[in-house]
Structure 1
């Protein structure tokens, strides 16, 4: 089924059908090369977050859940798959060659997010 048809069907049955873009980022060079690109990568991520283009990002464990092996997941808000690819390609981690990425569309249909803001404690909890 084509993506546009699936999205229309999801909307017609009342699903959210929010389209985001998921980059799976993997190391392509030595750990020291990845580490060298980290400050610029984090600054770029902060810039995208401030612009509203970055939804979520962070490292992933291996399949056991115990080891961090360099896999990362970045979820973008963009107007198209090509626009999301451009955001990922401009990431210093990827543009330096320290990491490579694959990009996929992700349609969010169900789920929930809970946000608690403590006004007197100046605290925020996201779960």
Structure 2
């Protein structure tokens, strides 16, 4: 297996985007009441990170059946390093309070597409 930096350099050399982001899988430790209690602080923190350009995407994950929400979430950060991304995750009130724990991984975005549709007169935004 190549080292991360070697793989990233190879991806760039072959023309891939090689955009390094950080994936945080956030898992509940405490029950639904504790999650609900911390939710406003968590959402305010996420909003701050989004406004600062550090939050790319975030939201809840379903259970394996795809039918229920059990308190897990996925957060994608933009950061200068794994340590900087870990600091962002540590500062999330859900994590700093012990309501959730997390695992963090580097994510190298190489392929795919994203389409944003703006309807100016109708003030409509669609992400596809």
**Count of residue pairs brought into register by the alignment:** 127
Counterpart position of 1:66: 67
Distance 1:121 1:93 in 2: 36
Normalising by structure 1, we get a TM-score of 0.98
SS of the residue 2:122 aligns to: coil
Task: Give runs of ≥4 in structure 1 deviating > 2 Å.
Answer: none
The equivalent residue for 2:39 is: 38
Equivalent position of 2:76 in the other structure: 75
Segment drifting more, 78-87 vs 114-123: 114-123
Which structure 2 segments of 5+ residues have no match?
A: none
Tell me the secondary structure at the aligned position of residue 66 of structure 2. Answer: coil
1:1-127 paired onto structure 2 within 5 Å: 1-127=2-128
The DSSP-based 3-state class of the residue aligned with 2:49 is helix
Q: Unpaired segments of 5 or more residues in structure 1?
A: none
Distance 2:10 2:82 in 1: 20
